[in-house]
Chain A
């Protein structure tokens, strides 16, 4: 091969590599210049994919000029990590419906989200669905709305009716004492091999921050009668409510009502190895699919013995946002409005067994039939007004990590008193806030 030909060959190779590595820049007006294309990321669980697929088909049929492509959030450790990586790489979708309010601060700080209250009909639409007081909780620190409140999954306690009855527990526990007393009866070795076969409850003992959103946090909200961790930017959890929660879980582990182990090979509630489980309404769909034989009930999160008034819990909200990379914010907003219409809210209930965040769930006739057919979901719907979200503070994950460390030290291993654990968690939280100020 002559040097000239070799040179041409090398040039061709370089051009091919450059073309191969370059980002595919799809024109928003690909095949037909009048058609706008949007990308929509729903959560990646099977029920929500099914829901999103139905909605997108419906939308695409009704709106030939704005075509939506549904793509479940790419798999990763968490949605938040994926979205942050996507913001950094400018590969975010136009619309995403799995926005966790706890991570919103990071997204807005990065300028990753479109301000929704700039759309003229945002206020009327949002206030027609969500009670004003609850809506305010979703306002960002800059005074704008970057998320549209969409759905809530109030955390409650599932219980296995058969396991409680077999142990002679007549009434479902509501307070810490009742739960511990019931636990003494339920937790036992059924076949005499020296190993406990049925537990009253179980929590993941790994000190991972988000695990505390499923135990410490809803219990703290319940014990504090609806307070969150901060009040006007200052630590508010340093007190009796948090101490009571740490003490309660400490009792669960000390009395061996909860195992200090990792369950392998399946979810213990589905396998009827534990009598109670703390989860949101999404768990109903799981039970229907994987353990339809289990007879279960749902009751509010446990409260201290001296508790009075309604029982609050965490709302586990998931909202909808439009990313600032969109080239068609108006079209994206139209799609968001379509997602939150009454008929789609009914689909959210029917397909995913999840509650739309709206104030008229139990009064709107559109949902009556659904709640008649799914009486357990009424418990969750009743809980909606008594749900709380997360504080709008930076480094929330690190703060939950600090709480997680103390939960582990105090509740799981009994190495600290509840008062010491709360004091140390508050001390670490102050350090985190100071470091990151």
Chain B
């Protein structure tokens, strides 16, 4: 029974107060999910710049999409970001989680500190990193030159800019994944480690033979969550680099945003959005299948 049938069933059953209670959600769903979704399906076959009436364009938006090198460049950039960001996120989060799970001093303090960037506004974090990454006046390059190393063109070199954004995004989000790993670590029975100690297993062996395999479900969740978050990369390149240098940080969402709100190509932006949603769904389903296969293997 789907949601709508359930509501009809509840109303028929006479649960009028229940149906009243669902009304806010139904209104929200219709206004902010169903309507935009249907409208964007209509838009993909039209040309519309918000102020003039919609103009039927058939499949022109699709033919434009497949002939648009900048869109595929943005798609590639998003892929590069994911390839750098996801492994980095997992390694850093896991390392810090293991450290914070062990009995160290000020453990609570460090747990709070690592979580702090998660609750800070993305724009604030990006402006902060923009100052740190500045080629001539940034604190990172000042530190490097003080120890005799050359300056790094963090966000002004097309080859380095996207990894720099990935580092910043990792710093911003790692606290959330540390929490998830800590939950996973707490669920591993302690007696497994005690038995391993008795058998003479080293800490390294314990980590690779006990901790890591038992954290597989957590890693699966983190991979899927950070893939979805990575696909929606927007604030960092929007504020930090504007998509440059040389479009090397132009993410797919930023490109769609530019088409919609800079150039008012609403129909084309809707087409890009739909195509991108299809890619995200495909990747996430593929990831899930792969992880499930690995887990049961």
Interface residues of A (CB under 8 A from B): 81, 84-85, 87-88, 106-107, 109-110, 112, 194-196, 205-209, 259-264, 395, 397-398, 401, 405, 408-409, 412-413, 415, 431, 435-436
Given contacts A196-B136, A261-B156, is CB(A208)–CB(B242) below 8 Å?
yes
| Beyond A110-B49, A110-B52, A435-B60, 12 extra complex contacts between A and B, CB < 8 Å | A88-B50, A88-B51, A106-B51, A196-B136, A205-B156, A261-B134, A261-B136, A398-B262, A398-B263, A413-B158, A415-B158, A436-B265
Q: Is the CB of B137 within 8 A of A261?
A: yes
Contact in complex: B135, A259 (CB < 8 Å): yes
Question: Chain A nearest CB: distance from B48 CB in Å?
Answer: 11
Partner of B262, one of A206, A263, A401: A401
Q: List, in ascending order, chain A residues with CB within 8 A of B134's CB.
A: 261-262, 264
Q: Is B163 an interface residue (CB 8 A)?
A: no
Chain B nearest CB: distance from A404 CB in Å? 9
Chain B residues whose CB sits within 8 angstroms of the CB of A196 once the complex forms: 136
A-B contact pairs, 7 of them (CB 8 A): A84-B264, A110-B49, A112-B51, A260-B136, A408-B244, A413-B156, A435-B268
- Complex: chain A residue closest to B127, CB-CB: A264
Q: Decide if B153 is an interface residue (CB 8 Å cutoff).
A: yes
Query: Which 7 residue pairs of A and B lie closest in terms of their CB atoms, listed nearest first?
Result: A110-B51, A206-B242, A207-B244, A261-B136, A261-B135, A260-B156, A398-B263
Residue contact B49 to A106, C-beta cutoff 8 Å: yes
Supposing A84-B50, A207-B244 touch, asked if A395 and B263 sit within 8 A by C-beta, the answer is yes
**B interface residues, tally (CB under 8 Å):** 32
Q: Is A408 a contact of B263 with CB atoms below 8 Å?
A: no
Whether the Cβ atoms of B51 and A408 lie closer than 8 Å is no
A259 touches B136 (CB 8 A): yes
Q: Say yes or no: B137 contacts A207, CB within 8 Å.
A: no
Closest-by-CB residue of A relative to B20 is A10
Bound: A412/B242 CA distance, A:
15
Residue pair A413, B246 in contact (C-beta under 8 Å): yes
Q: Which residues of B contact A207 (CB under 8 A)?
A: 242-245, 247
Most buried by A among B60, B261, B263: B263
Contact (Cβ within 8 A) B245 A435: no
Q: A113–B280 Cα gap in the complex (Å)?
A: 42
For A85, list chain B residues within 8 Å (CB).
50
User: Do residues A262 and B245 form an inter-chain contact, with CB atoms below 8 A?
Assistant: no
Q: Does B130 contact A (CB under 8 A)?
A: yes
Known: A110-B51, A195-B137. A409 touches B246 (CB 8 A): yes
User: CB-CB < 8 A to A260: which residues of B?
Assistant: 135-136, 153, 156
B115 to chain A, nearest CB (A): 27
Shortest distance between the CB of B122 and any CB in chain A (Å):
18
On whether the beta carbons of A209 and B262 are closer than 8 Å, the reply is: yes
For B146, give the chain A residue with the smallest CB separation. A194
B52 touches A109 (CB 8 A): yes
| CB contact between B241 and one of A206, A431, A436 (< 8 Å): that residue | A206
B67 to chain A, nearest CB (A): 8
B282 within 8 A of A: no
- Inside 8 A of B245's CB, which chain A residues have their CB? 205, 207, 408, 412-413
Q: Which residues does chain B contribute within 8 Å of A106, judged by CB atoms?
A: 49, 51, 264
Docked pose: A88 CA to B241 CA in angstroms: 30
User: Quick one: closest B residue to A107, CB to CB?
Assistant: B51
Report which residue of B64, B67, B136, B268 has the largest number of chain A beta carbons within 10 angstroms of its beta carbon: B136
B145 interface residue (CB < 8 Å to A): yes
B295 at the interface (CB under 8 A from A): no
Cα-based distance from A206 to B247 in the complex (angstroms): 10
B131 at the interface (CB under 8 A from A): yes
Q: If the complex has contacts A81-B261, A88-B50, A106-B49, are A435 and B247 also in contact, measured as CB distance less than 8 A?
A: no
Cα distance A205–B136 when bound, in Å?
14
Interface residues in B45-88 (C-beta closer than 8 Å to A): 47, 49-52, 60, 64, 67
Q: For residue A209, which residue of chain B has the nearest CB?
A: B262
In the assembled complex, which residues on chain A have CB atoms less than 8 Å from the CB atom of B262?
Answer: 209, 397-398, 401
- Binary CB contact string for chain B from 138 to 157 against chain A (1 if under 8 A, 0 otherwise): 00000001000000010010
- Measured between beta carbons, the chain A residues less than 8 angstroms from B131 are 264
Q: A81-B261, A84-B264 are in contact. Are A405 and B137 (CB under 8 A)?
A: no
- Complex alpha-carbon distance, A38 and B52, angstroms: 25
Residues of A within 8 A of B242 (CB): 206-208
Given the complex of chains A and B, what is the CA–CA distance between A398 and B49 in angstroms?
A: 13
Chain A residues with Cβ below 8 Å from B153 are 260
Q: State in angstroms the CA–CA spacing of A395 and B49 once bound together.
A: 11
Min CB distance, B17 to chain A, in Å? 11
Give the shortest distance, in Å, between A9 (CB) and chain B (any CB). Answer: 13
A415 B246 Cβ-Cβ under 8 A: yes
A413 and B157 alpha carbons, distance in the complex (Å) = 8
Would B246 and A405 count as touching, CB distance under 8 A?
yes
Complex interface: chain B residues within 8 A of A107 (CB): 51
Whether the pair B263, A397 counts as a contact (CB closer than 8 A) is: yes
Compute how far the CA of A108 lies from the CA of B26 in the bound complex, rounded to whole angstroms.
Answer: 39
Q: What CA separation (Å) do A431 and B66 show in the bound complex?
A: 13
Residues of A within 8 A of B263 (CB): 395, 397-398, 401
